[in-house]
Amino acid sequence: MKPVYGILMAVALAGILCAAGCTTTDTTGTETNTSAPTPTPVMVSLGSVGKENNRDIVPMNMQTVMQVILPENPTTGYSWTVTTVDGMTITDDTFVPPEEQIPGAGGVHVWTLEPNSTGIATFSAVYVRPWEEVQPDDERYTVTFYVTPEGTSVVDVTSADNGTTVPVPKDGAVLVALNENPTTGYQWNASVSGSAEIAADSFVPPYSERPLVGAGGIHKWLVTFTDAPSGTFDAAYVRPWEETTADAESFTVTFAGV
C-alpha cells in the first residue's frame, strides 16, 4: 500500500502546484502559462484647486481625483453650500478644523471630486448662513474643469505666442490666457475660425485676501475643435461701446494639427 499512497500524494501535489499557477507542457513540448493575467493598475493622480482658482478653467484627465479646498469658519454662522456639480461626483465632503484649537478660528472645507466623463465639468458654491436666503452679493465660487480624453493634451497659449502658428495634437485643445483689466473699460473681444470653437470663456480675477481696487486679472478661453485642428483665434482689446480701430491692441494665433 505504501507505493500506491506515494503515487497518490505525488499526483495530488502536482494538481496543487498547477492550480497555483504553475506552467504545464503541451504535447509539442511548449510551455503554457496557466496563471490568470495580472490586471494593469490604474494610475490615479490627485489634484487640487483653491480660492485663487475662482472662475478659473482647469484641465484634468479621467485619472485625476480633484479636491476643491476653500477656507470656512462655521463659528461665524457661514458655511459653503454647493450649488452646482455637473459632470463630476462628490465622493467626499469634509470640514477640516484648524490644527490649533483656537476659539473662533476657521478651517477649510474639502470636497473630493471624480469626473464622470470627458468634456466640460463645473463646480459652484456660495458662502451663506444656511437659514438665510441667498443674496446677489453673497460670496461665490465657481471653477470649470476640462476633462481631457485619454492620450490627449491641452496646449497653453499666452501673449508671447501672438502672431505664431500653434501646433495642436489630434483631439487636443488649447487654453488661451491673456491679461485683462475690465476696470479700465477695456476687455478682449475674441472670435475663432476653421474647426475651432470656444468651449469655455472666463475672466479670472486676481486673488488676494483683501480686495484689490483697479487690479487686472486674466481672461481665459478654452478652444476645442470639431475636426482636425485648424483655423485661428483672433482678439481685439477694446471698449465694448466703441468701434474697433486699426490701432487697437490685437492678438492672433493660427492652429495647425500635428
Task: Please give the pLDDT value at position 9.
Answer: 34
Cα-Cα-Cα-Cα dihedral of 115, 113, 121, 234, to 10°? -100
The residue with greater pLDDT, 144 or 1, is 144
Mean pLDDT estimate for the chain: 85
- Say if residues 227 and 195 touch (Cβ distance below 8 Å): yes
39: confidence class by pLDDT, cuts 50, 70, 90: low
pLDDT tens digits, one per residue of 89-128: 999 999 999 887 777 789 999 999 999 999 999 999 999 9
- Average of pLDDT values for 185-208? 95
Tell me what pLDDT residue 17 has: 35
CB within 8 A of 71, min separation 6: which ones? 51, 106, 107, 108, 109
What pTM was computed for the model? Answer: 0.80
pLDDT above 90: percentage of residues in the chain: 68
**Which residue ranges make up each domain of the chain?**
43-150, 152-258
Q: Return the CATH number of the domain spanning residue range 152-258.
A: 2.60.40.2020
Domains 43-150 and 152-258 share a fold: yes
Query: What is the architecture of the domain spanning 43-150?
Result: Sandwich (2.60)
Q: DSSP class of residue 40?
A: P
User: Higher pLDDT residue, 245 or 57?
Assistant: 57
pLDDT band at 38 (very low <50, low <70, confident <90, very high): low
Per-residue confidence (pLDDT) for residue 208, from 0 to 100: 80
